[in-house]
Amino acid sequence: MSAPTQTLDERTLLDRVQAPAGEGREILDAATREVFGRAPVHTVADLDAAVAAARAAQPGWAALGHERRSALLHRAADAVEAQAEPLARLLSREQGKPLNGPNARFELGACATWLRTAADTPLEPEVLVDDETGHAELVYRPVGVVGAIGPWNWPLMIGIWQIAPSLRMGNTVVVKPSEHTPLSVLAMVAVLNDVLPDGVLTAVSGEREVGAGLAAHPDVDKIMFTGSTATGRKIIESSAGNLARLTLELGGNDAGIVLPDADPQAIAQDLFWGAFINTGQTCAALKRLYVHDSIHDDVVAALAEIAEATPMGRGLDEDSVLGPLQNAQQYDIVRRLVDDAKARGGRVVTGGEPAPELGELFYRTTIVTDVTDGVPLVDSEQFGPALPVIRYTDVDDAVASANRLDAGLGASVWSSDRDEARRVAARLEAGTVWINQHGGLHPMVPFGGVKGSGYGLEFGVEGLKSVAVPQVISG
């Protein structure tokens, strides 16, 4: 390891991690669809070597102790901050999210914050019994080697959510980035490894068989995965052979309920960004909105006004705050769901069509109303810039609608009466229920899903416990 030096430019950082000319797999700029880099294509043999190196490095890393590991995590955060701009530009090109707004630069800031929080969060032994009968306490030990399988929507931030607590607790980590966004993750890992000891953190960039191999690897003790519910189920099956521990943050179809006493103008901005952060490509984004009939039209109009005023464009354009869909498969899903909703009588208030003048994978920010439960745009996770707004008259019906799907990552309640909002929130089946906001995360507040949205907690003390093995010392 070596100390981080001066800030690199984007090309220098990219050249540190991409495959040599003529090798690897082409990676396209999400906005322009031009080739801008080549990702290494690692093999299962490369994965085996990475896991072996992690296994060999883990005892020494654990032996450093919490204080020394925490100091190194702070240095890692310094390194990320030093390279934040080239990392953000690389992320913007690969993922599509703009530099500004709650996007690429924001994501790099979150990476540093979560690294520092993981370093500074205390996890003290818990005294269970201390009396005339004896003494017993609960402590947490490293689990060993952690396999971190990341998504393409927030590849750096979610990567740090997996890496930072694992390292803090004395584990070593093997990272498998999404095939869609490997270069930005490889670059971030390279920056972190300017600080960390050899073998402690390794990234393996390969195709699906590498991810499957990591989930099933006999020398991996813990798997952390963020992605679709379907893939999560496969990981559960793959991990059964070695009984690897699991943290799974899976698909969501978050519902929001706007109560009749809410002020449409007061909540409109937060509603909009709850739904459209990262152009809707966020697991815990607001994906279906139930609005009381008495204020339905006012809420819809306020959302449409914001949508039409919010600039969409290429990520490296400093004026953009919404970008393209990251990949053609996701673009096709959004387009199909909106077209289907229109065919079923849904009314497009704004958007509802591609934006070809911006680029191949741009879809206009879309608000659709006059739809009901059962319409695929409501029942399926669209994961893009399209929000269905459903009218209701009875709050019990809205709660039933919110709970009817096999998804339970997040939900929200919007009201001028916080006590009433809390009463409704308590009835919703979701890992997190926000009041008058949606999707806001705090590094000390646990986050995780229920039902088909997965299990296990991340962040704060509970997040540290999830990447450790509990041990009772009694006597």
* DSSP H or E segment with residue 146: strand 145-149
Nearest 5 degrees, angle CA 331-CA 215-CA 185?
Answer: 55
Length of the chain as a residue count: 475
CB-neighbour burial class of residue 436 (10 A; exposed 0-12, middle 13-18, buried 19+): middle
The conformation of residue 332, written as its DSSP 8-state character, comes to: H
From residue 403, give the alpha-carbon distance in Å to each of 177, 259, 424: 32, 16, 12
Give CA–CA dist 33/29, Å, rounded: 5
From residue 350, give the alpha-carbon distance in Å to each of 340, 364, 407, 471: 16, 8, 27, 56
Place of tokens 């996007």: 103
Give CA–CA dist 115/387, Å, rounded: 33
CB atoms within 10 A of CB 308: 13
Give CA–CA dist 279/283, Å, rounded: 12
- For 171, the 3-state DSSP assignment is coil
Give CA–CA dist 95/324, Å, rounded: 9
Question: What are phi and psi for residue 152, nearest 5 degrees?
Answer: -100, -10
Cβ-based neighbours of 265, under 8 Å, separated by 6 or more: 298, 302
- For 433, the 3-state DSSP assignment is strand
* 322 close to 354: Cβ distance less than 8 angstroms: no
- Using the Cα atoms of residue 370, residue 353, residue 321 and residue 38 in order, give the sign of their dihedral: positive
Residues noted as catalytic: 249, 283
